C-alpha cells in the first residue's frame, strides 16, 4: 500500500481512458529520437564532458552526438558543445574550484538541435541559434511577469524573440524543402452570348420582343394554301394564267387605273 506525500492513504487508480491514452503515448515515445546523456567532470578549474556509458558503447555515443549536429568534425562538435553550454545555468564545484553547466539543460539544448535534424554544419548553426533565442525569450518572459506589473519594454522584446523563433522555424523548413507554398489563383470569366432568332410568318419563340416579329400561330391549312400547286404547263407559271388580257385579267377599276398610269407615262 503506497501513500502519497500528504499522508492521506493509498492513491487512486488511474482512469481507464487515461491508461489507453498512456499506451498510445508510450508507442509515440519509443518512436522519437533520443539523445544520449552526458557526464560532466571538473578538474583544475575547468569542466569537460564525457561518455556516461561503458567503454564498449563509446563509439555509439560519439556517433549519436555527431549526428545530432550533422557533422563528422571533432572540432566543430566541440565548438557547438561549448557554445550551447554557455547558454545553460552554471553551478560551482568547490573541490575543483570550477563553474560547470547544468547537465540537464545541456542535454536539452543538444536534443533541440537534434530535433531539427540538421544535414550539415550550416543547418546546425541555425538550430543552435534557435536554442539561444528560445533561452533568451523564456528568461526574459519570466523576468517580465515576475512582478505584479510586467515591464512593457521587456514584454515587447519577449514578443519579438518569439516571432524570431517562428521565423527561424520557417527558414529551417524552407531549407528542407517543406516550407514552400504554391498559390493557385482561379479567375472565373463569364461570357454572355445573345442570339437573335428571327422566325418570320408568325413564329412565337421571340415572344413580344420589339425587334422580332409579332407572335402569331400558323395553322396547317394556311401553310397548305401558301404552297405552290403543280402546273399543267411545267415551263410556265405554277398556276395557269388566262391568256386573254381582257376583262378577266384584273377587276375593272384596277385595270383602268393601270391604263391611265401607262398613258400618262407615255
CA 132 to chain centre: 30
Q: Residue 151 has what pLDDT?
A: 83
CA 3 to chain centre: 52
146 within a domain of the structure (yes/no): yes
157 within a domain of the structure (yes/no): yes
Q: Residue 169 has what pLDDT?
A: 94
Q: Are residues 100 and 165 in the same domain?
A: no
Q: Are residues 136 and 111 in the same domain?
A: no
> How many whole angstroms separate alpha carbon 177 and alpha carbon 74?
28
218 within a domain of the structure (yes/no): no
116, 176 Cβ separation under 8 angstroms: no
Total number of domains constituting the chain: 2
Report the candidate in 163, 168, 179, 162 with the shortest Cα–Cα distance to residue 130.
168
Q: Residue 201 has what pLDDT?
A: 53
230 within a domain of the structure (yes/no): no
The continuous run of DSSP H or E covering 50 comes out as: strand 46-50
Last residue of a domain, one of 115, 144, 167: 115
Q: Are residues 98 and 169 in the same domain?
A: no
Pairing, β 98-101 against β 39-43: unpaired
73 within a domain of the structure (yes/no): yes
255 within a domain of the structure (yes/no): no
3-state SS, residue 264? helix
Last residue of a domain, one of 140, 160, 178: 178
Domain hosting 81: range is 30-115
159 within a domain of the structure (yes/no): yes
Q: Are residues 105 and 144 in the same domain?
A: no
Last residue of a domain, one of 159, 178, 197: 178
Report the candidate in 113, 155, 106 with the shortest Cα–Cα distance to residue 130.
113
pTM of the complete model beyond 0.85: no
Q: Residue 13 has what pLDDT?
A: 93
Q: Which cell numbers hold the place of 200?
A: 418570320
Q: Residue 264 has what pLDDT?
A: 45
Q: Residue 255 has what pLDDT?
A: 47
Q: Are residues 34 and 111 in the same domain?
A: yes
13, 22 Cβ separation under 8 angstroms: no
Tell me the mean pLDDT per 10 residues along the chain, length 266. Answer: 63 94 94 88 90 93 94 94 95 89 94 94 96 95 84 90 96 83 63 58 51 56 58 53 51 48 45
Amino acid at each position: 500500500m503506497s501513500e502519497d506525500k500528504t499522508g492521506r492513504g493509498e492513491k487512486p487508480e488511474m482512469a481507464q481512458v487515461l491508461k489507453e491514452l498512456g499506451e498510445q503515448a508510450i508507442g509515440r515515445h519509443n518512436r522519437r529520437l533520443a539523445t544520449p546523456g552526458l557526464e560532466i567532470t571538473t578538474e583544475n578549474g575547468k569542466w569537460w564532458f564525457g561518455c556516461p556509458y561503458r567503454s564498449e558503447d563509446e563509439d555509439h555515443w560519439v556517433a549519436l552526438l555527431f549526428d545530432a549536429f550533422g557533422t563528422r568534425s571533432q572540432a566543430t562538435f566541440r565548438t557547438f558543445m561549448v557554445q550551447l553550454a554557455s547558454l545553460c545555468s552554471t553551478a560551482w564545484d568547490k573541490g575543483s574550484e570550477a563553474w560547470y553547466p547544468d547537465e540537464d539543460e545541456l542535454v536539452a539544448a543538444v536534443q533541440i538541435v537534434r530535433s531539427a535534424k540538421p544535414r550539415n554544419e550550416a543547418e546546425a548553426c541555425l538550430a543552435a541559434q534557435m536554442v539561444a533565442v528560445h533561452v533568451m525569450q523564456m528568461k526574459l518572459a519570466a523576468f517580465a511577469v515576475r512582478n505584479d506589473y510586467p515591464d512593457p519594454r521587456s514584454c515587447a522584446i519577449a514578443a519579438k524573440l518569439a516571432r524570431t523563433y517562428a521565423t527561424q522555424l520557417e527558414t529551417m523548413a524552407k531549407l528542407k524543402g517543406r516550407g514552400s507554398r504554391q498559390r493557385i489563383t482561379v479567375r472565373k470569366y463569364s461570357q454572355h452570348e445573345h442570339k437573335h432568332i428571327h422566325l418570320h410568318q408568325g413564329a412565337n419563340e421571340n415572344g413580344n420582343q420589339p425587334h422580332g416579329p409579332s407572335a402569331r400561330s400558323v395553322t396547317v391549312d394556311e401553310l397548305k394554301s401558301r404552297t405552290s400547286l403543280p402546273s399543267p404547263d411545267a415551263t410556265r407559271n405554277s398556276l395557269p394564267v388566262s391568256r386573254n388580257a381582257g376583262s378577266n385579267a384584273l377587276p375593272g377599276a384596277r385595270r383602268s387605273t393601270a391604263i391611265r398610269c401607262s398613258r400618262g407615262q407615255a
